[in-house]
Amino acid sequence: MTRLAYLHEPGVLRNLKSRYGMNEIYTYTGNILIAVNPFQRLPHLYNDHMMEMYKGAEFGELSPHPFAMADRAYRLMMNYGISQAILVSGESGAGKTESTKMLMQYLAFMGGKVESGGRSVQQQVLESNPVLEAFGNAKTVRNNNSSRFGKFVELQFDQNGKISGAAIRTYLLERSRVCQISDPERNYHCFYMLCAAPPEDRERYKLGDASLFHYLNQSNCIKLDGMDDSSEYIATRRAMDIVGISSDEQDAIFRVVAAILHLGNVEFSEGSEADSSVPKDDKSQFHLRTAAELFMCDEKSLEESLCKRVMVTRGESIVRNLDSRAAALSRDALARIVYSRLFDWLVNKINTTIGQDPTSKLLIGVLDIYGFESFKTNRVSSSSVST
Ligand SMILES: Nc1ncnc2c1ncn2[C@@H]1O[C@H](COP(=O)(O)OP(=O)(O)OP(=O)(O)O)[C@@H](O)[C@H]1O
| Cα atoms in the Cβ-side hemisphere of radius 13 Å centred on 116 | 0
Catalytic-residue membership of 348:
no
Residue nearest to atom 31 of ligand 1 (CA): 39
Which is it for strands 316-321 and 163-171: parallel, antiparallel or unpaired?
Answer: unpaired
Q: Looking at this protein, which amino acid is placed at residue 75?
A: R
- Tell me: is residue 97 an annotated ligand-binding position: yes
Prediction ipTM score:
0.98
Residue of 27, 97, 99, 187 marked catalytic = 97
Chain centroid to CA 203: how far?
27
Q: Read out DSSP for 294-320?
A: HHTS-HHHHHHHHHEEEEEETTEEEEE
The preferred substitution site among 89, 98, 101, 141 for testing ligand 1, maximizing ligand atoms within 8 Å of CB, is 98
Is residue 372 within 8 A of residue 92, CB to CB? The reply is yes
Distance CA 27, CA 36 (A): 9
Ligand 1 pocket test target in 20, 26, 39, 232 with most atoms within 8 Å of CB: 39
Quickly count: other Cβ atoms within 10 Å of residue 273's Cβ. 9
Sign of CA dihedral 370, 376, 380, 383: positive
Gap from CA of 56 to ligand 1 centroid (Å): 27
Q: How does DSSP classify residue 366?
A: E
- Whether 154 is a known active-site residue: answer no
Residues with Cβ within 8 Å of residue 9, at least 6 apart in sequence:
none
> Average pLDDT of each block of 10 consecutive residues along the chain (387 residues)?
81 93 93 94 92 94 96 96 95 91 94 71 86 96 92 94 94 94 95 97 96 97 94 95 92 98 97 91 97 97 95 88 96 98 96 91 91 63 55
**Whose alpha carbon is nearest atom 11 of ligand 1?**
39
Q: How large is the angle between the packed helices 247-264 and 324-354, nearest 10 degrees?
A: 160
Distance 93 CA to ligand 1 centre (A): 5
Give per-residue pLDDT as tens, 54-88. 998 999 999 999 999 999 999 999 999 999 999 99
Active site residue 272: no
Which position among 146, 236, 290, 324 bears the catalytic label?
A: 146
The domain ranges of the chain are: 19-260+337-386
Q: Cβ-count burial of 98 within 10 angstroms (0-12 exposed, 13-18 middle, 19+ buried)?
A: middle
* Separation CA 215–CA 266 (nearest Å): 11
The residue type of 142 is R
User: Which residue out of 27, 147, 164, 360 is catalytically annotated?
Assistant: 147
Residue 11 is labelled as binding a ligand = no
pLDDT by residue (tens digit) across 228-266? Answer: 999 999 999 999 998 889 999 999 999 999 999 999 999
Task: Please tell us whether the domain made up of 19-260+337-386 is placed in CATH 3.40.630.10.
Answer: no
Lining ligand 1 with CB less than 6 A are 37-39, 41-42, 90, 92-98, 143, 145-147, 370-371
CA distance 329 to 325: 6
**Does residue 371 carry a catalytic annotation?**
yes
Please count the CA atoms within 13 angstroms of the CA of 338 that sit on its side-chain side.
23
